Structure 1
């Protein structure tokens, strides 16, 4: 397990220095595959699950990109390409905000509360999400109605005032997706460590379920924050600037599409990666403006990094396994 942790960590750090938005989940999976092959047996790997992971390379960006494309087209038709964009932005923004509150609530209710032993049925979660969505929409309407059209700002950029409407909405969706993404990545990162601690505490016995010490969660949380501060900006530049040009309205569409895809995947059991979903959503936003709006060289590098993540994690895990075995016997 230590070999798997080291392999995933080294690959993720290398990818981050290159600005590649690779999946933490896939890095861990690849490392575990490599460890299982050399440490246990080839048959110990559930290859059917590996096929599902590979399928997510296509499923995740495709769904996220499709939804973000439709959202961008809706903002064009309802707001941007109308006679009075500012008026229509204020009219339809509460509707978009409702979807934000509704979708983000579903993400939390479906994926987060079960770990707190709060069990809600599907209908209860849906009803609670509707209430939260309506409350969020009302709060958003209260603040958005104060935004005024500024002729001076719109002289350089025709939609400057309209984009102001989307700015707080984008910030909310970005924070919510960071919460969902971070919780998932911490779980993936500390999973092998939790297994090691469980084996040590049980005297070498492998247990299906074991209590997770709080300090392990704190360690994982601190690690993800430290990584964000030191190397995260490189990945931010790739997703936020290099794939395509993003404005608050486009960023909002990408984030909302990613959150929607996470909800759909969590309820249907689709094998998806949150990282791939978000990148696919940004690609969908770019495609809505035409293929020329995308930097195809950057897109190609991202796809290549996705393809080599599993084998890279596996090979590194094998290397660390034999290295540690040679050192400690």
Structure 2
């Protein structure tokens, strides 16, 4: 499962940087591998969620082996679906895959009454909300960035004035997200005041000085893109760090639950995750990135719409903003869907013809079948395991 998270979800952090040619696929694999492992091992969530996001009513489960077999079934089902999606270069949500697996074994065990359908409806809602919010924010961010720099009569002068502002603003979001998503803080205001704004001010000053000293391009437009190329590497690396710290739970949460129940019984449903399990998840993610991450990177970075560094920066900035606000508001959101939506939004800023509608149709279909397909596979595996056990 961790291998598949690396192979598929790495596109969330590195696909746009590769598509905009800020870094090569090999460089992306190295950066994302290191950052995902760091995020998973040092900042991975400290408590397992046996029933992911409260999808199942644990009060109806009295036999600990149901959770053991169910967790294994959910992992195998999600992994099977993700292998298929990654092979076909389709960016799908690993969170939705594991939720589908959990719903599947719950239905196979106790029928429809064990599933919290309200929670599941929130997951379905995220299929719709995530790409729409991502697309809207990215559309306006890129329009504003292009209007303030690229379409001005003197792009070089405009870049000197506006680039530090956009870069600083992006790092306000990144600093705040570090507190919320990586350090798992719960106060947006605290995160903005003590993390976001200080980081944003420092980066604004540094970028202002560096651009003033070193920005004398022969071609003003290539010069502007070169500024955002460097920034995009940093923003992508941050997304990879946050990704590892959060999504490693999709792989190791069920394993930690099995380990806890095997050692402590039902009392182990919520326990600290051993470091070696977080490390296992981090290694799995890194290996998946190295071995197969290029497939989905290619789809997100190059097959939906053509990306430049300013477009890639707009996507990273917008996706980070949407994810941060959704986390604060408690809205269901998918990182994968948000990033793909942001890619589409930037494409739409250049006109509908800039979007590859065929690949977009395939991606959307894959999103809607993720939960039911994973649920069916999980239910079958669970029944086999219970029968064999």
Q: Same fold (TM over 0.5)?
A: yes
- 1:220 is matched with which residue? 281
- 1:232 is matched with which residue? 293
Tell me, what secondary structure is at the counterpart of 2:350?
Answer: coil
- 1:174 is matched with which residue? 236
- Count of aligned residue pairs for this structure pair: 318
- 1:190 is matched with which residue? 252
Q: Report the Cα offset of residue 194 of structure 1.
A: 1.3
Q: Is the 8 A contact 1:240 1:246 kept in 2?
A: yes
Say which of 17, 20, 27 aligns to 2:90. Answer: 20
Q: Is the 8 A contact 1:243 1:299 kept in 2?
A: yes
- 2:208 is matched with which residue? 141
Q: Report the Cα offset of residue 140 of structure 1.
A: 1.9
- Any residues of structure 2 matched to 1:91-130 within 5 Å, and which? 91-114=161-184, 121-128=187-194, 129-130=196-197
Q: Report the Cα offset of residue 253 of structure 1.
A: 0.0
Q: Report the Cα offset of residue 317 of structure 1.
A: 0.5
- 2:36 is matched with which residue? none
- 1:306 is matched with which residue? 367
Structure 1 residues 146-188: Cα deviation after superposition (integer angstroms, max 9, x where no partner) = 443443xx3xxx7211111111111111111122223222112
Q: RMSD of aligned C-alpha atoms?
A: 1.5
Q: TM-score, normalised by structure 2?
A: 0.79
Structure 1 residue 295 corresponds to structure 2 residue 324: no
User: 2:268 and 2:283 mapped to 1: Cα distance?
Assistant: 27
Q: Is the 8 A contact 2:142 2:311 kept in 1?
A: yes
Structure 1 unaligned blocks of 5 or more = none
Single out whichever of 40-49 and 77-86 deviates more from structure 2: 40-49
Say which of 273, 277, 281 aligns to 2:342. Answer: 281
Q: Report the Cα offset of residue 121 of structure 1.
A: 4.5
- Any residues of structure 2 matched to 1:31-70 within 5 Å, and which? 31-70=101-140
- 1:162 is matched with which residue? 224
Tell me, what secondary structure is at the counterpart of 2:333?
Answer: coil
Tell me, what secondary structure is at the counterpart of 1:205?
Answer: helix
User: 2:337 and 2:304 mapped to 1: Cα distance?
Assistant: 13
Say which of 85, 95, 111 aligns to 2:155. Answer: 85
- 2:5 is matched with which residue? none
User: 1:199 and 1:226 mapped to 2: Cα distance?
Assistant: 28
Tell me, what secondary structure is at the counterpart of 1:159?
Answer: helix
Single out whichever of 303-312 and 183-192 deviates more from structure 2: 183-192
Structure 1 residues 219-269: Cα deviation after superposition (integer angstroms, max 9, x where no partner) = 111111111111211010000000000000000000000000011001101
Q: Report the Cα offset of residue 141 of structure 1.
A: 2.1
Q: Is the 8 A contact 1:64 1:277 kept in 2?
A: yes
Structure 1 residues 257-298: Cα deviation after superposition (integer angstroms, max 9, x where no partner) = 000001100110110001111111101000000000000001
Q: Is the 8 A contact 1:147 1:165 kept in 2?
A: no
Q: Report the Cα offset of residue 122 of structure 1.
A: 4.1
Q: Report the Cα offset of residue 325 of structure 1.
A: 3.2
Single out whichever of 17-26 and 186-195 deviates more from structure 2: 186-195
Q: Is the 8 A contact 1:90 1:165 kept in 2?
A: no
Q: Is the 8 A contact 2:252 2:281 kept in 1?
A: yes
